[in-house]
């Protein structure tokens, strides 16, 4: 019992000695639009700031998604990232998503 009490008393000291050096601020907005029964579109804009690295990043992303089956969706997106004092980055992404059926539908 003494050792357990000692553990609880010393544990907060270890937690207080940890430094927080990776604080980031992310903010953004996303607009989703359902085009028809199977197609969706998405536009996103974000700002990311990291004081430790002094990095500011702005990026815009557009994507289209299609429902393949009731449980499978496929999305293709394009992202353009603007970084302070560096070249812009471009990226094309493809996401395949599976949504499990709800448990009450399985009964």
Residue range 82-100, pLDDT digits in tens: 887 778 889 999 999 998 8
- Each residue of 60-80: b (16+ CB within 10 Å) or e? ebebebeeeeeeebebebebe
pLDDT at 24: 79
Residue range 21-45, pLDDT digits in tens: 667 788 999 999 999 999 999 999 9
**Does residue 15 have a pLDDT over 60?**
no
Own/partner long-range contacts of 72-81 (Cβ < 8 Å, ≥24 apart): 72/96, 72/97, 72/98, 72/99, 73/97, 73/99, 75/42, 77/42, 81/57
Residue range 47-83, pLDDT digits in tens: 988 776 667 888 999 999 999 999 999 999 999 988 8
């Amino acid at each position: 019992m003494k050792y357990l009490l000692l553990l609880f008393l010393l544990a907060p000291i270890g937690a207080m000695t940890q430094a927080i050096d990776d604080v980031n601020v992310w903010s953004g907005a996303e607009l989703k639009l359902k085009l028809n029964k199977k197609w969706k579109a998405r536009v996103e804009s974000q700002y990311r700031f990291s004081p430790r690295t002094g990095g500011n990043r702005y990026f815009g992303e557009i994507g289209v998604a299609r429902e393949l089956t009731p449980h499978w969706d496929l999305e293709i997106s394009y992202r353009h990232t603007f970084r302070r004092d560096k070249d812009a980055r471009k990226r094309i992404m493809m996401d395949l998503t599976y949504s499990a059926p709800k448990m009450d539908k399985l009964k």
